[in-house]
C-alpha cells in the first residue's frame, strides 16, 4: 500500500437521545428502576418489526432512592444492599420506547412493572426466528446472583421465559457478571458466549462454546488490554461477513488524577477466529465518541462517561447502547442511546498525505460470478480507478464504475469476464483513490492462497 492510513467510521447519534432513562426519574417514577448502571443492552428487531430491549439494572439501590440529586455532591455513592435484575422495553420504530407492565415479577407487592427476572446479572438474549422449536425462539443466558451459577432459559415471545437451567459444569467461579453476549456462529453452527473473567487482577474477555445452548465448554481467555488503563470490561461479539466484530467497553482504572479515570470508551475490535483480536484503528480505536461533560455528573451529556453497546442485531445501520453520565463507581445516571453507522463503513482507509493519491493492491481473487463492488466515498474533485496491471482488457481506462443505491460502485471491465479471466489464475487489482475513503470490496469471488486465515 502507498500513502494510506486507517480511519474509524463516523457515527451519527440520534437527536432523540437518550431514548429512555432510569424509571426513578420518569414521571410518574418507576421505583424498581433506581439505577440502570452499565445496562448491558440487548436490542433485537424481530420478524414482526418489533424492537425488544433487554437491560440489566439494579432493582434495589438504597443510595439512589434515598439521596436526592442535589445532595449527592456531599456524600459518596454506596453499593451496599443493591439487588440486580433484568428489565424490558419495546418499540415499533426503535426510537420511541415503552416499558410495558409485564405482570411477571413482584416488586414491593405488585407485578405492575417491566421486570422479566430478579437476581440475574449481565443477561444476554439471542433471537433465532428459524429455530425449529417455537418455544426456544428467544434464548437467554445469565448469571444467578445468589449462587453465582451460569444459567439459561428459553421463550417463544421474548417475554415469558422458562425456569432458569443452571450449567451442570464449567460455570466460572469468578466473573461472568458483566455482559454475557451470545450469538450463533454460522461457520461452526455453535453458540458462542463472550463474557468477562479476571486474571492477575485484570479484567479479561473470554469465550465458551455450545452445541445446544445448555452444555458449555470451559471458558477460554481471548483478549486482555494493556494494564489498568485499558481493561476490557465487556465486549459484545457478532459476525460480519467473514470476520467477527467486537464492541468493547474499555475501562480506565489507573491514575486517579486524570480526567478519564473510572470511565469507559467504546472501541471496535475484529477477529478472524474468535481467539485472536485486533484493534481496528490502533491510533484511535474509539467507535462512539463520548458526550461532552465527562468531568461533570449532572451537567454532562447522558453518555459522557460510560458506553456499553448491544450487538448490531436491530438493523445494519444501528448501534444501540447505554450511556452514563457520572463515573463508573460513583453517582451515575444511564439512558439508552442510538447511533447510526453503515455496517459496511465501520472503518476505512484515507490518504496519509492529502496532496497525494493513495493506492494498494488487493489479494488475488478467483471469481465465480461477475459481481464486483468497491465500497468508497469520493469527494468532489476526487477520483477512483481500478485495474489489473499487465493484463489486457483490465486497464484502468477499460474499467467502468457505476454508483449503486447503497453508495457502492459496481466494477465492470468492458467486453471482459471476471470468471473467464480467473479460471486459470487468480488476479489482484490495483486500486487508486484520490480525495475519498475506501471502505472495502465485495462480490462473487474467493481469495486465493490467502495469508488472511490461520490454518
pLDDT digits (tens, 9 = 90+) for 362-410: 999 999 999 999 999 999 999 999 999 989 999 999 999 999 999 999 9
* CB of 60 closer than 8 Å to CB of 82: yes
The set of cell numbers assigned to 416 is 471482459
Residues 6+ apart with CB under 8 A from 420: none
Which residue matches cell numbers 460502485?
409
The CA distance from 52 to 91, in Å, is: 7
For each of the domains in the chain, give its residue range(s) and CATH number, in order of start.
4-345 (2.115.10.20), 357-447 (no CATH)
Cα Rg of the chain (Å, integer):
24
Q: Is the pLDDT reported for residue 448 higher than 90? A: no
Which residue matches cell numbers 432512592?
65
What's the pLDDT band for 449 if we cut at 50, 70, 90? Answer: low
pLDDT recorded at residue 455? 43
pLDDT recorded at residue 396? 96
Q: What percent of the chain has pLDDT over 70?
A: 98
* CB of 206 closer than 8 Å to CB of 199: no
* CB of 416 closer than 8 Å to CB of 394: yes
Give the pTM.
0.94
The set of cell numbers assigned to 246 is 467486537
pLDDT recorded at residue 454? 47
* Cross-strand bridge partners of residue 445: 367
Q: Is 404 exposed, middle or buried (0-12, 13-18, 19+ CB in 10 A)?
A: exposed
Q: Is the pLDDT reported for residue 18 higher than 90? A: yes
* Cross-strand bridge partners of residue 20: 336
The CA distance from 258 to 120, in Å, is: 34
Residue 104, H or E segment: none
In terms of phi and psi (left: phi > 0; alpha: psi -120 to 50; beta: otherwise), the region of 419 is: alpha
pLDDT recorded at residue 346? 96
* CB of 3 closer than 8 Å to CB of 359: yes
The 10s digit of each residue's pLDDT in 332-373 is 999 999 999 999 999 999 999 999 999 999 999 999 999 999
Q: Is the pLDDT reported for residue 321 higher than 90? A: yes
What's the pLDDT band for 228 if we cut at 50, 70, 90? Answer: confident
The answer to whether the Cα torsion of 11, 15, 18, 19 is positive or negative is negative
- Name the more confident of 229 and 71: 71
Cis peptide before 28 (omega within 30 of 0): yes
Q: Is the pLDDT reported for residue 263 higher than 60? A: yes
What are the two backbone dihedrals, phi and then psi, of residue 171, each rounded to the nearest 5 degrees?
-70, 130
What is the three-state SS of the chain? CECEEEEECCCEECCCCCCEECHHHCCCCCCCCCECCCCCCEEEECCCCCEEEEEEEEEECHHHHHCCHHHHHHCCCCCCCCEEEEEEEEECCCCCEECCCCCCCCECCECCCCEEEECEEEEEEEECCCCCCHHHCEEEEEEECCCCCEEEEEECCCCCCCCCEECCCCCCCCCCCCCCEEEEECCCCEEEEEEEEEECCEEEEEEEEECCCCCCCCCEEEEECCCCCCEEEEEEEEEECCEEEEEEEEEECCCCCCCCCCEEEEEEEEECCCCCCEECCCCCCEEECCCCCCCCCCCCCCCCCEEEECCCCCCCCEEEEEEEECCCCCCCEEEEEEEECCHHHCEEEEECCCCCCEEEECCCEEEEEEEEEEEEEEEEEEEEEEECCCCCCCCHHHEEEEECCCCEEEEEECCCCHHHHCCCCCECCEEEEEEEEEEEEEEEEEECCCCCCCC
Going by the DSSP 8-state scheme, the letter that residue 217 receives in this structure is P
pLDDT recorded at residue 450? 55
Amino acid at each position: 500500500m502507498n500513502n494510506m492510513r486507517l480511519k474509524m467510521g463516523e457515527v451519527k447519534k440520534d437527536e432523540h437521545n437518550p431514548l429512555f432513562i432510569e424509571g426513578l426519574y420518569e414521571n410518574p417514577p418507576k421505583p424498581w428502576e433506581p439505577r440502570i448502571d452499565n445496562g448491558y443492552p440487548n436490542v433485537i428487531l424481530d420478524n414482526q418489526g418489533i424492537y425488544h430491549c433487554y437491560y440489566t439494572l439494579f432493582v434495589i439501590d438504597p443510595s439512589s432512592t434515598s439521596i436526592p440529586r442535589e445532595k449527592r455532591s456531599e456524600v459518596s455513592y454506596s453499593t451496599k444492599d443493591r439487588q440486580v435484575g433484568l428489565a424490558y422495553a419495546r418499540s415499533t420504530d426503535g426510537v420511541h420506547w415503552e416499558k410495558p407492565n409485564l405482570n411477571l415479577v413482584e416488586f414491593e407487592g405488585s407485578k405492575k412493572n417491566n421486570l422479566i427476572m430478579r437476581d440475574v446479572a449481565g443477561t444476554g438474549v439471542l433471537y433465532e426466528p428459524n429455530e425449529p422449536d417455537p418455544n426456544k425462539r428467544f434464548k437467554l443466558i445469565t448469571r444467578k446472583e445468589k449462587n453465582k451459577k451460569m444459567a439459561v432459559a428459553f421463550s417463544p415471545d421474548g417475554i415469558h421465559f422458562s425456569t432458569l437451567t443452571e450449567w451442570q459444569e464449567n460455570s466460572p467461579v469468578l466473573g461472568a457478571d458483566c455482559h454475557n453476549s451470545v450469538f450463533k456462529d454460522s461457520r461452526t453452527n455453535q453458540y458462542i458466549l463472550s463474557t468477562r473473567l479476571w486474571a492477575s487482577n485484570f479484567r479479561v474477555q473470554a469465550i465458551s462454546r455450545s452445541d445446544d445452548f445448555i452444555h458449555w465448554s470451559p471458558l477460554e481467555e481471548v483478549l486482555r488490554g494493556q494494564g489498568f488503563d485499558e481493561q476490557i470490561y465487556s465486549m459484545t461479539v457478532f459476525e460480519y461477513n467473514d470476520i467477527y466484530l467486537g464492541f468493547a467497553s474499555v475501562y480506565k482504572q489507573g491514575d486517579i488524577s486524570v480526567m478519564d479515570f473510572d470511565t469507559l470508551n467504546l472501541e471496535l475490535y475484529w477477529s478472524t477466529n474468535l481467539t485472536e483480536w485486533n484493534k481496528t484503528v490502533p491510533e484511535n480505536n474509539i467507535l462512539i465518541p463520548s458526550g461532552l461533560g465527562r468531568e461533570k455528573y449532572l451537567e454532562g451529556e447522558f453518555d459522557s462517561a460510560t458506553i456499553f453497546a448491544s450487538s448490531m442485531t436491530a438493523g445494519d445501520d444501528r448501534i444501540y447502547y447505554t450511556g452514563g453520565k457520572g463515573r463508573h463507581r460513583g453517582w451515575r445516571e444511564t439512558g439508552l442511546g442510538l447511533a447510526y453507522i453503515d455496517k459496511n463503513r465501520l472503518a476505512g482507509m484515507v490518504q496519509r498525505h492529502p496532496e497525494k493519491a493513495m493506492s494498494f493492491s488487493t489479494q488475488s481473487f478467483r471469481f465465480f460470478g461477475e459481481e464486483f463492488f468497491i465500497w468508497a466515498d469520493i469527494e468532489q474533485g476526487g477520483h477512483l480507478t481500478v485495474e489489473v496491471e499487465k493484463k489486457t482488457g483490465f486497464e484502468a481506462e477499460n474499467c467502468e464504475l457505476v454508483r449503486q443505491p447503497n453508495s457502492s460502485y459496481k466494477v465492470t471491465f468492458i467486453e471482459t469476464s471476471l470468471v473467464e479471466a480467473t479460471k486459470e489464475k487468480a488476479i489482484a487489482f490495483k486500486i487508486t483513490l484520490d480525495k475519498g475513503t475506501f471502505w472495502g470490496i465485495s462480490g462473487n469471488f474467493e481469495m486465493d492462497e490467502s495469508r488472511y486465515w490461520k490454518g
